[in-house]
Amino acid sequence: MSADGGTQGGETRIIRTDYLARVEGEGAMYVRLDGRTVEDVKLRIYEPPRFFEAFLRGRAFTEAPDLTARICGICPVAYQMSAVRAMEDACGVTIDEGPLRDLRRLLYCGEWIESHSLHVYMLHAPDFLGYPGAVEMARDHAGIVEQGLQMKKAGNALMAVVGGREVHPINVRVGGFYKAPTRVQLRTLLEPLERARETALATVGWAAELPFPEVERTPELLALSDPDPGSYPIDRGRIRSDAGLDIAPGEFDEHVVEEHVEHSNALHARLRERGSYLTGPLARYGLSHAQLRPLAREAAGEAGLGPLCTNPFQSIVVRAVELVQASDEALALIEAYEEPDAPAVEVTPRRAVGHGATEAPRGLLYHRYEIDEDGTILDARIVPPTSQNQLAIEEDLRAVVERDLDLPDEQLSLRCEQAIRNHDPCISCATHFLELTVERG
Amino acid sequence: MSADSNQTPAKQTSAKQTLAVWKFSSCDGCQLSLLDCEDELLALADRLRIAYFLEATSAVAEGPYDISIVEGSITTPHDAERIREVRRQSRTLITIGACATAGGIQALRNFGDVAEFTSIVYASPDFISTLSTSTPISAHVPVDFELNGCPINKVQLLEVIGAHLAGRRPRVRGHSVCVECKRRGTVCVMVAHGTPCLGPVTHAGCGAICPAYDRGCYGCFGPMESPNTAALSARMAELGSEEIDLVRVYRTFNAGSAAFREASEAHEHEPAGGAPA
Amino acid sequence: MSESASHTLERQDFDELFGALARRGYTVVGPTVRDQAIVYEEIASSAELPIGWTDEQEAGHYRLRRREDAALFGYNVGPHSWKRYQLPPEVRLWRARRDADGGLTELEPEPRTAPRYAFLGARSCELHAMGILDRVLLGGAHTDPADRARREDVLVIAVQCAQAGNTCFCSSMGTGPTAESGFDIALTEVLEQDRHYFVLEVGSERGGELLGELRHAPAGQHERAAASAAHDRAAAQMGRELDVTDIRDLLYRNLENPRWEEVAERCLSCGNCTMVCPTCFCTSVEDVTDLAGEHVERHQRWDSCFTVDYSHIHGGSVRASTRSRYRQWMTHKLATWIDQFGSSGCVGCGRCIAWCPVGIDITEEARAIRDSEAVGDARP
């Protein structure tokens, strides 16, 4: 925090957090104010780059799900799903119905439940209730933290049965799975998932009562849209936005550009000639509210949430609605499950380019691969949700700072951090990505 | 930085030991394993004072720390400095996961040209400050205990912390995955299906998951205590693995471990780092 | 085998056996197909048996193959052995909590009973293996009551081998192929043009009582001859051979034989041979404490002389090299076992050969050592 001479507008004020807490990975925040003017806002991603696209070159197409899972320990299933869809697209195979697709969706529901429970209860809720973390929060709200942990555990149990383990599941392959779970195995999950659904419903009501700063933001919302009108987007669909974008995943490259900026080890994505956009729960909810399962839609309504949520601080309520959605859908998928004849379909490589886009808990995850006729990966491009959201997050930050300019530094800084956590950034994913510093001028 | 005035030495059982969790280059999955201990997390927080764990809390206490758990590998000059500071602040330093113990998947850069890698991912490579290698923590500072796995097994993590608190040796065995696989009663995928499997040369700890899901072990726990990769590679070749397959199978998350690096290099006949034509 | 004790049971009446066993409170463990192999699991009817399946076995190789008939027991031993039930892979021995004064109070002592098992389909080599393991676990002065409980009351329905596999060498070890004792009932499966039946021998009073509940008939001369022919066929098909002449002293003389170096080049020290061996009994006993230090449990797990820790004593492992570990295993199995327990530890089932991922063959290793003496280069 320094006051530099030579400015006319007043003194320079800097708000910064060098090590953001309760986000996945390492980032920082930096805001510089000149008097009452916000001069600069940066979400800095300083976590070192890991070069996945580079070392995917020369690997076998079948290795992509296991290799790219290691981009993120919080949402490995998202990486595996976008990877297998892209490879199947390249090889001319579609798994859009039947038990294999149901199993994929089921596994994905497990990751949504695990990731959203983690974020709602352990990363985000402490902001609203004034604790540094869930462990401290548990001293006063043991029951709430405990139920969040049990819901998280149900998501993990689902991933462990279908995927083999919670972090970096081993059962996903191009073409399907290595081994399909039995009906009996899946039915062991009914009871914990029913409890998780109850908890999720209670969470919607609880989250809706949290104290929210009144902030309205209307970024362009972008998410997948499932072709089935009764299906909330998770694993397939066209990419749509509320400003009229409507493209196939294969056209993503033409519409989204990524640029490398000095303050971040993540690439910043923007829509060509349109600028920033937001992906994630707020976008999915805003675009596919009508496709929520009735139970989730009712829960949202009862919590007073309209079909569009414009206050990013209320994303915690939307996540809770998605927890209802994911647990309710998981239960339905298990009830209807018929064991497949074979755990995977044959996928023969050919020289082609394939695209895959699915909805990670924190937003759209796009993969594109070019493979050779023997299946060797020639080129890879991966666009994680957090790089897509980085600009929108910085815009949120700017809006929050402008609104709460009169708060003392410490409180403003907390408010800014909270504005970042609203979007559950996953920095490990984005590095290809985050650090915040606020300079006041 | 001195310890709190009323901090007693670690052997005094009445004082809570402090725990710090550090992240270097990694995917976060191993520290997530700690948060994945849903049934034990609050007990853990009761038994230890969480002094530094950014992913879980913004409350930060100054060092020194009784136990530091380190995730991730060293890939930048800044991190190479930071790990020395962490070591200075830590009585016991435990590394967790393939990144911290072997360099992780990002150690694939050790086989290629980093300048070229950077230009592939980032359009303006000038902004990137990175080392040409990804190295395990033990290459930089002395480590008290290494826990393998990509990701680690959370039950083993609790065992390591519990053993430390009880003042005993952690019960983490270095034998092959096969021992766990046979205990589990799984049918050997290599013998009965002809599926190449790294189980015989891979460190136990995962619970032998892959063969139970009808696939060969892919070595995510790194080399076992006495790996005979040459004999296994010869057998996998008989089962149909090509040279390129043998390079790839050892060259994943534990590519930076000596045994797997050498095993992969033994089958590499192309120029280093090059993609097969 | 006394001819008067032979009976026949028709295939269509075979499920009466499951009914009779269930009525007597037995849990039946027997062969079934899972994950492309024949394993031992709890089964409830003949439909779960490996009907029409056989196996092809070689060093490091096992494949299921279809038979041309509907035999129930037309296969050789698979990856599992009865050891899983005599000495389970993992057992909690006890658990306790810490008292305020630092002492330990044991919680709910572990039950000393096991389900009342009927082992269906045990082969002659396996009966011998069970006997050897019984001597190890129950033959000494100090035995574990839990080990004893697991063996009490086990009913054994043996199956006489009608064929031998490529990795079988029970004839060499004097443990088969035909079981003479150690069973309650032994059955020989006979498949004829238009008849599928079993020839039964009763080996105990319990076996006789059980037989009484089944629809059976006395075996005639034709049926006895058919059973006998099946036994002879198995003996004639024995895929491997191990010359046990003077084998204890042979191995004692060859502790420094260069062959141990050679096998160590191939050996993965993965421990598979010891895990599949029906007599290897090494376990480790490990204590587990909880985070709070309030609760402790002691577990016994299968271990292996191929692991470094197993021979870890103060100062390090006494068998640091794979050479010394393979030598230890084979010398114990074929030689020191004789001094220790009065018999060989090997029953010639061939599991260690088939289930070694790189196909190391104990009969070949023993032969190589014997042959090296014949050449005269390894003898002092």
Using one digit for the tens of pLDDT, what is the confidence trace for C280-296? 999 999 988 888 888 89
| Mutation to test the A interface, candidates B22, B28, B108, B244, most A Cβ within 10 Å | B28
Same structural domain, B30 and B142: yes
- Chain C's closest residue to B160, CA to CA, is C291
Residue B189 inside a domain? The answer is yes
pLDDT recorded at residue C291: 85
Residue A371 inside a domain? The answer is yes
Point out the residue among B40, B175, B184 whose CB comes nearest to the CB of C307.
Answer: B175
| Band of pLDDT at residue C5, cut at 50, 70 and 90 | confident
Please indicate whether, in this complex, the C-beta atoms of B213 and A170 are within 8 angstroms of each other.
yes
**Burial class of C3 by CB neighbour count within 10 A (0 to 12, 13 to 18, 19+):** exposed
pLDDT recorded at residue A425: 87
Contacting subunits of C (3+ beta carbon pairs below 8 A): B
Interface of B with A in 209-268 (CB under 8 A): 209-210, 212-215, 218, 220, 245, 248, 252-253
pLDDT recorded at residue A24: 77
Same structural domain, B129 and B155: yes
Interface pTM, i.e. ipTM: 0.95
| Mutation to test the A interface, candidates B35, B55, B268, most A Cβ within 10 Å | B55
Same structural domain, B38 and B155: yes
Please indicate whether, in this complex, the C-beta atoms of A167 and B26 are within 8 angstroms of each other.
no
Residues 6 or more apart whose Cβ sits within 8 Å of residue A310: A216, A217, A218
Same structural domain, B126 and B74: yes
Say if residues A226 and A237 touch (Cβ distance below 8 Å).
yes
User: Domain of A72?
Assistant: 52-213+335-380
What integer best gives the mean pLDDT of chain C?
Answer: 94
Q: Of B166, B191, B209, which closes a domain?
A: B166
Residue B7 inside a domain? The answer is no
Q: Of B166, B190, B218, which closes a domain?
A: B166
Q: Each residue of A323-361: pLDDT tens digit? A: 999 999 999 999 999 999 999 999 999 999 999 999 999
pLDDT recorded at residue C290: 85
Tokens of C64: 């299921």
User: Domain of B195?
Assistant: 177-265
Residues 6 or more apart whose Cβ sits within 8 Å of residue C82: C40, C119, C122, C126, C129, C130, C278
List the CATH number of the domain containing A183. 1.10.645.10
For a pLDDT cut of 70, what percent of chain C falls above it?
96
Residue B65 inside a domain? The answer is yes
Point out the residue among B60, B128, B218 whose CB comes nearest to the CB of A265.
Answer: B128
Same structural domain, B37 and B138: yes
Residue A138 inside a domain? The answer is yes
Residue A209 inside a domain? The answer is yes
**C309 vs A109, which has greater pLDDT?**
A109
pLDDT recorded at residue A3: 36
Residue A68 inside a domain? The answer is yes
Point out the residue among B151, B245, B248 whose CB comes nearest to the CB of A168.
Answer: B151
For residue B58, list chain A residues with Cβ-Cβ distance below 8 A: 21-22, 126, 132-133, 417
Residue A268 inside a domain? The answer is no
Q: Count of domains in chain A?
A: 1
For residue C306, list chain B residues with Cβ-Cβ distance below 8 A: 175
Same structural domain, B160 and B186: no
Same structural domain, B68 and B189: no
Please indicate whether, in this complex, the C-beta atoms of C63 and B192 are within 8 angstroms of each other.
yes
For residue B81, pLDDT beyond 60:
yes
Same structural domain, B28 and B143: yes
User: What is the Cα–Cα distance from B259 to B102, expressed in whole angstroms?
Assistant: 11
Please indicate whether, in this complex, the C-beta atoms of C275 and B178 are within 8 angstroms of each other.
yes
List the CATH number of the domain containing B105. 3.40.50.700
Residue B135 inside a domain? The answer is yes
Contacting subunits of B (3+ beta carbon pairs below 8 A): A, C
pTM for the full predicted model? 0.93
H-run or E-run covering C195: strand C195-202
Q: Each residue of B172-194: pLDDT tens digit? A: 999 999 999 999 999 999 999 99
Residue A279: CB atoms within 10 A of its CB come to 31
Interface of C with B in 85-114 (CB under 8 A): 89-90
Q: Helices B243-250 and B229-238 sit at what angle, rounded to 10 degrees? A: 140
Say if residues B147 and B161 touch (Cβ distance below 8 Å).
no
Q: Count of domains in chain B?
A: 2
Tokens of B54: 């950014």
pLDDT recorded at residue A46: 74
Residues 6 or more apart whose Cβ sits within 8 Å of residue C89: B182, B183, B184, B185, C301, C302
Please indicate whether, in this complex, the C-beta atoms of B192 and C265 are within 8 angstroms of each other.
no
For residue C378, pLDDT beyond 70:
no
**A90, A96, A97, A101 alpha-carbon torsion, rounded to 10°:** 80
* A221-225, A263-267, B166-170: the lowest-pLDDT one: A263-267
Residue A254 inside a domain? The answer is no
| Band of pLDDT at residue B120, cut at 50, 70 and 90 | low
Q: Each residue of A157-207: pLDDT tens digit? A: 999 999 999 999 999 999 999 999 999 999 999 999 999 999 999 999 999
Residue B6 inside a domain? The answer is no
Same structural domain, B200 and B116: no
Point out the residue among C39, C63, C271 whose CB comes nearest to the CB of B176.
Answer: C271
Q: Each residue of A91-108: pLDDT tens digit? A: 999 999 999 999 999 999
Under 8 Å CB pairs connecting chains B and C tally to: 136
Contact with chain B for residue C290, Cβ under 8 A: yes
Q: Of B166, B189, B214, which closes a domain?
A: B166
Say if residues A174 and A61 touch (Cβ distance below 8 Å).
yes
Of B109, B117, C300, the closest CA to residue A380 belongs to B117
Same structural domain, B117 and B221: no
